[in-house]
Chains A and B, each alone.
Chain A
Amino acid sequence: MTIGLTHYLLLAAVLFAIGMFGVLSKRNIIAILMGIELMLNAVNINLIAFNRFLPVHDLSGQLMALFAIAVGVAEVAVGIALAFRIFYDRETINVDELNRMKG
């Protein structure tokens, strides 16, 4: 059996779903950030697989993946910094405790 585009797309879809599940089910901010990272990486697999297997003339898919990696890192860096602030404010990074504002 040869590994083709479909397998890569399935892998990416499964990864995306796992990441989404992590974001929705985990209560720790760091774990949620990891879920987000999984979702972003699923997209990168998608982009690169399309670029590899489809008859496209340019490398814009790979280019996009590079930019997505850089932006994902920036996002997670800000996320970790905010997790630190939450910890200083309330000595916990459980998102269930973030319930000051309602309505």
Chain B
Amino acid sequence: MNFAAISTEIFILGMGLFAIVMDLVLPEEESRKSIGGVLIFALSGWFLYMFTLYHGAINPLEPASMAALTDRFFYQGLYLVDNYALFFKQLFILATVFTLLFASDYVQSVLRYRGEFYALLLLALLGMCVLASATDFLTVFLGLELMTISFYVLTGARMGSKDSSEAAVKYLIVGSVSTAVLLYGISLVYGAVGRIQFLEVCRSPHLFFPLGIAGITLVLIGFFFKLSVIPFHMWAPDVYQGAPTPITAMLAMGSKAAGIAAMMRVLFVAFPLLGLYWLPMLAVLCALCMIFGNIMAMRQKDVKRMLAYSSIAQAGYMMVGIVAADADGMKAVMFYAMLYVFANVGAFAALAVVEAQKGDTSHRAVSGLARSAPVLAAVMTISLLSMAGIPPTAGFAGKLYLFTAVVDQGFLWLAFVGFVMSMISVYYYLLVAKAMYLGRWDGSKLEISGAVRAAVVLSVLATVVVGVWPEKLAELTNLAANTFLR
């Protein structure tokens, strides 16, 4: 047992327990913002420390560098902390830090159980980190469940809101069924192979028996449910709309990226050969996501629900990189996941302020936002343009990497679909901008606290800087992508 390998997880668990204890110790009438503040500082410190944990490129033919990789296993191939896992963990921690920054006011004014919000958010983060590192089906299952069960509770955290409890029940039922399907698939794979470690599963010839193939199908369907890939998406819009806005943001940024991280490892490490046979089908699902996600998003009157459909489309874009199935594609997926975090923080921070002070997030509620809170309107516009992939923003660089990677592999039609659909998506993103800038202003002013201002300014800065100068992030993603695909 190499406990140094799981220092990040131990740290996050410690911070989660710290939040629970502080919530009990602090007097009832005291604000819980201080807990959030401590968590933000601790997590951002750890985020910076994690840059030192990356290892250099590993050459499988060289025993010394293979030994370095073996040191990164926690216990008998259950859990591996390689560059790929480190990158995704940094992404999750960054997403959580941003969410904590813009959520502190929302939590204070809207939610009833505030300390629990922080503790559960950290436990969900822990689940995501476990998913990124899992190299064994048991660990995948535990990480997935830790993350989703925390999210069931957080989705229902808005006491007294019927939408929130309805969303939580829908999420729980669909989530549990998908867990059962995933687990059934795992049991069939175990039956075919007799092992659950990825590195042993991929070596077994029995995987090609009908039992193994049925197992792989069910495992993939389980993942598609979690990623809300069309046609397994029906829970996503309701859950996104009903959940408290910071949790919607975490679902869109963290939960989706964690699902993609685990799915890529399962596809390319556990089922490398069979995984490749799946790529044409994956390409079709990807195109369906991009087409229907964008078309359904156009019809929405509620901005949160619109973002839910747009996140289905974004999952489609990210899967384009998986279809490419090489290091370039993986690099593009990671790059896109990172800039999607920045774009989401901008959009959801603005929505959280609107929801906390006006009560809902319809187009009517955001109309005139350019007068009532000019900063938020500007940030939201830039973030939405980044999601659409308009040039000076990071979204353009991300889509460029994704589509060039997939064109190199011969899926020209997929890149074409993606290109056309991102043009179409500009329409509904700009509808929000139109409501904010040209809509009727009711004369009210929104209050923006320093924390929200910091979150939105940092996220927009990151969006623009990565868009103009993507080199550093691209180098980091290159390093991370070279871990298991070459």
Q: In the bound complex, do residue A67 and residue B191 qualify as a contact, i.e. CB atoms below 8 Å apart?
A: no
Say yes or no for B84: interface residue by CB 8 A criterion: no
Q: In the bound complex, do residue A71 and residue B194 qualify as a contact, i.e. CB atoms below 8 Å apart?
A: no
Say yes or no for A64: interface residue by CB 8 A criterion: yes
List A38-75 residues whose CB lies under 8 Å from chain B: 39-40, 42-43, 46-47, 50, 54-58, 60-61, 63-64, 67-68, 71, 74-75
Q: In the bound complex, do residue A47 and residue B165 qualify as a contact, i.e. CB atoms below 8 Å apart?
A: no
Question: In the complex, which of the residues B142, B166, B186 has the most CB atoms of chain A within 10 Å of its own CB atom?
Answer: B166
- A residues near B242, Cβ cutoff 8 Å: 101
- Chain A residue nearest to B166 (CB atoms) is A98
Q: In the bound complex, do residue A56 and residue B194 qualify as a contact, i.e. CB atoms below 8 Å apart?
A: yes
Q: In the bound complex, do residue B191 and residue A46 qualify as a contact, i.e. CB atoms below 8 Å apart?
A: yes
Interface string of B221-245 (1 = CB under 8 A from A): 0000000000000000110011000
Select A43's contact among B149, B173, B183, B195, beta carbons within 8 Å: B183
Shortest C-beta distance, A99 to chain B (Å), equals 8
- B residues near A71, Cβ cutoff 8 Å: 141-142, 145, 149, 179
- B residues near A68, Cβ cutoff 8 Å: 141, 183
Say yes or no for B138: interface residue by CB 8 A criterion: yes
Total interface residues on A, CB under 8 Å, equals 44
Q: In the bound complex, do residue A32 and residue B138 qualify as a contact, i.e. CB atoms below 8 Å apart?
A: no
Total interface residues on B, CB under 8 Å, equals 43
- B residues near A42, Cβ cutoff 8 Å: 180, 184
Q: In the bound complex, do residue B177 and residue A20 qualify as a contact, i.e. CB atoms below 8 Å apart?
A: yes
Q: In the bound complex, do residue B165 and residue A86 qualify as a contact, i.e. CB atoms below 8 Å apart?
A: yes
Shortest C-beta distance, A23 to chain B (Å), equals 6
Q: In the bound complex, do residue B145 and residue A75 qualify as a contact, i.e. CB atoms below 8 Å apart?
A: yes
Say yes or no for B176: interface residue by CB 8 A criterion: yes
Q: In the bound complex, do residue B196 and residue A64 qualify as a contact, i.e. CB atoms below 8 Å apart?
A: yes
Interface string of B130-172 (1 = CB under 8 A from A): 0000000110011001000100110010001011011111101
List B173-216 residues whose CB lies under 8 Å from chain A: 173, 176-177, 179-181, 183-184, 186-188, 190-191, 194-196
A33 to B175, CA, bound (A): 12
List A20-41 residues whose CB lies under 8 Å from chain B: 20, 23, 29, 32-33, 36, 39-40
A89 to B300, CA, bound (A): 26
- A residues near B301, Cβ cutoff 8 Å: 103
A43-B184 CB under 8 A given contacts A54-B194, A78-B172, A101-B242:
yes
A58 to B149, CA, bound (A): 29
Shortest C-beta distance, A84 to chain B (Å), equals 9
A102 to B188, CA, bound (A): 36
Interface string of B301-322 (1 = CB under 8 A from A): 1000100000000000000000
Q: In the bound complex, do residue A16 and residue B184 qualify as a contact, i.e. CB atoms below 8 Å apart?
A: yes
Q: In the bound complex, do residue B172 and residue A75 qualify as a contact, i.e. CB atoms below 8 Å apart?
A: yes
Q: In the bound complex, do residue B191 and residue A54 qualify as a contact, i.e. CB atoms below 8 Å apart?
A: yes
- B residues near A63, Cβ cutoff 8 Å: 138
Select A85's contact among B156, B179, B187, beta carbons within 8 Å: B156
Q: In the bound complex, do residue B180 and residue A36 qualify as a contact, i.e. CB atoms below 8 Å apart?
A: yes
- B residues near A86, Cβ cutoff 8 Å: 165-166, 169
Q: In the bound complex, do residue B142 and residue A40 qualify as a contact, i.e. CB atoms below 8 Å apart?
A: no
Q: In the bound complex, do residue A50 and residue B191 qualify as a contact, i.e. CB atoms below 8 Å apart?
A: yes
A82-B183 CB under 8 A given contacts A29-B169, A56-B194, A60-B196:
no
- A residues near B187, Cβ cutoff 8 Å: 43, 46-47, 50, 61, 64
A19 to B183, CA, bound (A): 14
Shortest C-beta distance, A70 to chain B (Å), equals 9
Q: In the bound complex, do residue A79 and residue B184 qualify as a contact, i.e. CB atoms below 8 Å apart?
A: no
Say yes or no for B445: interface residue by CB 8 A criterion: no
Say yes or no for B358: interface residue by CB 8 A criterion: no
- A residues near B191, Cβ cutoff 8 Å: 9, 46, 50, 54
Q: In the bound complex, do residue B194 and residue A55 qualify as a contact, i.e. CB atoms below 8 Å apart?
A: yes
Select B195's contact among A33, A47, A60, beta carbons within 8 Å: A60
Binding site for A on B (CB under 8 A): 137-138, 141-142, 145, 149, 152-153, 156, 160, 162-163, 165-170, 172-173, 176-177, 179-181, 183-184, 186-188, 190-191, 194-196, 237-238, 241-242, 299-301, 305
A-B contact pairs, 6 of them (CB 8 A): A23-B177, A46-B184, A46-B188, A46-B191, A60-B138, A67-B142
Q: A63-B138, A101-B237 are in contact. List 15 more A-B contacts (CB 8 A).
A: A19-B180, A29-B173, A40-B180, A47-B187, A56-B195, A68-B183, A71-B145, A74-B149, A75-B145, A85-B165, A89-B160, A95-B173, A98-B170, A100-B163, A103-B301
Return the 9 tightest CB-CB contacts between A and B, nearest first: A39-B180, A46-B187, A56-B194, A50-B191, A85-B165, A43-B183, A36-B176, A101-B238, A71-B145
